Amino acid sequence: MSLGTGFYLLLIAGVLFVTVTGLVRIINNNFRTGQRIREALGERIKLLRLGRMLKKRGISADTFLHEAAFHDIESNLRNCESCGQVKQCDAALEVSAAENKDLSFCPNDKALKKYSKARS
């Protein structure tokens, strides 16, 4: 192997090292950003009836936050915030799951069924 070839191999190794190191940093930053976003969404869920509705359906908020896409979580939050069935929701959340199996009034019913079935 000539001196020129060795230099180019070292140069390529250096470029690969810098590239891989940069990618690892980017992935790590994206992971932390995603965690912060999910924590903020989790706080919003706790403030709304959505948190209790998840619990009623046997879905942990952590599982929901981990498995659902951000846009789905946001959509569920908006549905809950703008829900016109507040009285019916409050009544359903007050009784045991065995007493009230029909939660179809909930604007998030279809989406939440997907996550409750995944737990079964």
Domain count of the fold of the chain: 1
CA 48/CA 61 separation, integer angstroms: 12
Determine, yes or no, domain membership for 73: yes
CA 51/CA 10 separation, integer angstroms: 55
pLDDT, tens only, 78-100: 999 999 999 999 999 998 766 76
DSSP code of residue 97: T
Determine, yes or no, domain membership for 3: no
Q: Which of helix, strand or coil describes residue 108?
A: coil
Determine, yes or no, domain membership for 94: yes
Determine, yes or no, domain membership for 29: yes
Determine, yes or no, domain membership for 46: yes
Domain that holds residue 74: 12-119
Determine, yes or no, domain membership for 7: no
pLDDT, tens only, 26-53: 999 999 999 999 999 999 999 999 999 9
The pTM assigned to this predicted structure is 0.73
Determine, yes or no, domain membership for 110: yes
pLDDT, tens only, 95-116: 876 676 788 999 999 999 888 7
